[in-house]
Amino acid sequence: MAASVRNGRAGNLPAEANTFIGRQSELADISRLLGTARLVTLTGPGGVGKSRLALRAALAAREAFTGGGWLVELSELRNPDLLTNAVAQATRLTEQTLLPLLEALCEHLAGAPPLLLLDTCEHVLDECARLVLELLGRVPELRVLATSRQPLGVPGEHLLTVAPLPLGERDDAVALFAARATAAVPSFALTDANRASVAAVCARLDGIPLALELAAVRLRGLPLDRLLEGLDSRFDLLVSPARPRLARHQTLRTAIGWSHELCSPLERLLWARLSVFAGGWDVEAAEFVCHGGPLDAEDILGLLASLTEKSIVTREDDGAAVRYRMLDTVRSFGAEWLDGLGEADAVRRRHRDYFRWTARQGEAEWLGPGQRMWAERLSAEHANLRLAMEECLAASEPETALELAGTLWYFWFACGFAEEGRGYLERALRRAHTLGPEHTLAIWTHRLVTVVPDDLDAAESVSAAYVWLAEERHLPVPALPLTGASLAVRGESARSAVLYGSAPQWPGAGGGAEFFQLLTLAVQAYLLASQGAFERCAAVAERLRADCAKRGELWMRAWGDFFVSLSGIGLGRPDEALRTGREALAAKWRVHDQLGAAAVTDLLVAAQACRGEPELAAQLLGVSRRLWYAAGLPRLGNSETTVFRREYVRRLRAALGQARFAEAVREGHELGPDAAVTLALGGLPQQP
């Protein structure tokens, strides 16, 4: 059984893509250092294998870190101001929080000891140093393993320089080349007859793992002796005498440059243009961004396949979705060529415009059957959306930044990136000089994604008033969880529409206008529930559900399910409340809405308590607490700070006794997220 971990999760460390070769002494050194040092940084040139070694070490050490092992890949990060957001996202802390994000991150990491793996720090070195210093100072249990081409310079940092692989005929460099060559050409085998030639290839490439892997794939088209000759004749290719480089950097550049030389002219052009992507891309994005001149869009799929065969590009299959990416060192080489071609600005603009179009498409289709697909697609494109936002902010026309930041309201609000969206919106609004539809959209979106203490205080006042109402009417449950609903129906403009029958003019023809109509119904249901008018609340919620069902929409419909379930509790119909509450939770979980999942789980606590299931209700109370924490609003999961929790703690403790109540809450609290949702949906959770 895997170790029990903080938040019931083992972290996000990925499985290794292929066999790990060698590095046993380095792994032993890292293991020893992590036992005594709080920050260990692996340094060395690009391509020497720092990232792979760090991942292997983290996987080997994860049993000791019951708070989980968390990989934060920084090579895609272009804006250093988003470093904290990147760490929060990687560690599954959503950004819907009242706390400053750094403070919320420290709380999130506190508890059982976690291991944070910060990979590729050199381009955001100063920001990494500041963040690591803050985290280590505030989270005593934390250990950090970093990879960087230079030290972070943080007090207490322990450095381990990663050298190239040993070069003897029986050493690791030969073993790595042979393993990768066999993977590329199954008929290849390392024998006594060819071992010396393989060792010579490895020596030409200084035992640098990336260079060895790029060379090994060349065996698909060249015999080993021709491969060796090619390295001999091209050893100094692309090394500028005016810009001397370290020998290892020269060797890596030689290996990449030789791969470049073996590409066709169109493959080289595509390689250069693909370098504008942050993270990965799909075929559609590559066709739009990279076509032009001699490169036709219809040729790009075939060229991608060829670059994949040459190990310049890696292909990632995730079910029906196919994405591509490049190693950061390979990407940097392509970017230099793109600059040399004089195309960098034009291709970056096409990248920006493609993701502006993608955001508009997502908005238009968000309230429809493709909602889950869009949530997953935009999450996969997060790094590219950030890059497009930065391009818009750097453009001379501020309207482009207002438009993109505002158009992404559904991504910021529903997919857990409120803090990041708020930051982009504020930057865009500061640059705006004139009023217009883009400005109106950005203002509305900023209000939508901004949660302030007054929101929680107002919701708590409603919940407290309901306690009094429940006692007066002898309702079966002393408090209803309205706080989550109040957060879901944010927006003064929507509240104004409900109270005064007016609605602002929506800028543009996207999905925001439809969302506003649905949001108005949700606000009506919330206000009716807060007044105890549950029959009317259920009627409005049914209308909301029906309107969403016409569109095939999940996320907003789940709030309709929420209010139907809430009304069922208020009307003494717990079975109905349980059924619709579970429908709401299943939908929220499918679109990655952790805030919504936490709010719905509060409802399920009430429903199970009403049904006479105090033990399950107590377990769900622990689940709810964990989900509120994961959603970045730990205050709402604290047993002492909300009316809802105070009342249920009292009632369930009385029903179960203190010992069993505490144990049941702990059981729910320690479940992993999928197991917790399985329990809430009526299944048997798998233990972590």
Query: Nearest 10 degrees: CA dihedral of 340, 342, 346, 350?
Result: -30
What does the pLDDT read at residue 69?
A: 95
What would you report as the CA-atom Rg of the chain, rounded to the nearest whole angstrom?
Answer: 28
Contact (Cβ atoms closer than 8 angstroms) between residue 419 and residue 85: yes
Q: Which residue carries 């290996």 as its tokens?
A: 255
Separation CA 281–CA 322 (nearest Å): 9
* Cα-Cα-Cα-Cα dihedral sign, residues 207, 212, 213, 216: negative
Separation CA 512–CA 524 (nearest Å): 18
Q: How many helices (H) and strands (E) does the chain have?
A: 33, 7
Please report, as a single letter, which amino acid is at residue 556: M
What does the pLDDT read at residue 2?
A: 31
What does the pLDDT read at residue 1?
A: 25
Q: Which two tokens stand for residue 233?
A: 């004749």
What CATH code is assigned to 263-342? Answer: 1.10.10.10
Separation CA 415–CA 420 (nearest Å): 11
Contact (Cβ atoms closer than 8 angstroms) between residue 35 and residue 78: no
Q: Which two tokens stand for residue 75?
A: 């090579």
SS3 label, residue 120: coil
What does the pLDDT read at residue 320?
A: 65
Contact (Cβ atoms closer than 8 angstroms) between residue 637 and residue 629: yes
Contact (Cβ atoms closer than 8 angstroms) between residue 645 and residue 612: no
CATH 1.25.40 fits 453-680, yes or no: yes
Contact (Cβ atoms closer than 8 angstroms) between residue 283 and residue 322: yes
∠ CA 103-107-110, nearest 5°, is 135
Query: Nearest 10 degrees: CA dihedral of 559, 563, 566, 572?
Result: -140
Please report, as a single letter, which amino acid is at residue 465: A
What does the pLDDT read at residue 361?
A: 94
Q: In this structure, what DSSP letter does residue 295 have?
A: B
What does the pLDDT read at residue 240?
A: 39
Other CB atoms closer than 10 Å to residue 315's CB: what's the count?
14
Map 355-416 to HEC letters.
HHHHHHHHHHHHCCCCHHHHHHHHHHCHHHHHHHHHHHHHCCCHHHHHHHHHHCHHHHHHCC
Q: Which two tokens stand for residue 144?
A: 């950090």
For the chain (688 residues), the mean pLDDT of every run of 10, in chain order, is 40 89 95 95 88 95 92 91 92 73 89 93 93 96 94 94 88 95 93 94 88 88 86 48 50 77 92 95 96 95 90 80 87 92 96 96 90 91 96 90 93 85 93 83 84 68 71 66 66 45 46 75 87 92 93 90 93 93 91 85 92 94 86 70 81 93 92 86 60
For 228-336, strand residue ranges (E) read 314-318, 321-325
Greatest alpha-carbon pair distance for the chain in Å reads: 92
pTM, rounded to two decimals: 0.80
Separation CA 348–CA 354 (nearest Å): 10
Separation CA 430–CA 252 (nearest Å): 44
Tell me which H or E stretch contains 253.
Answer: helix 247-261
Please report, as a single letter, which amino acid is at residue 252: L
Separation CA 450–CA 241 (nearest Å): 54
CATH 3.40.50.300 fits 6-161, yes or no: yes
Other CB atoms closer than 10 Å to residue 102's CB: what's the count?
16
Contact (Cβ atoms closer than 8 angstroms) between residue 624 and residue 602: yes
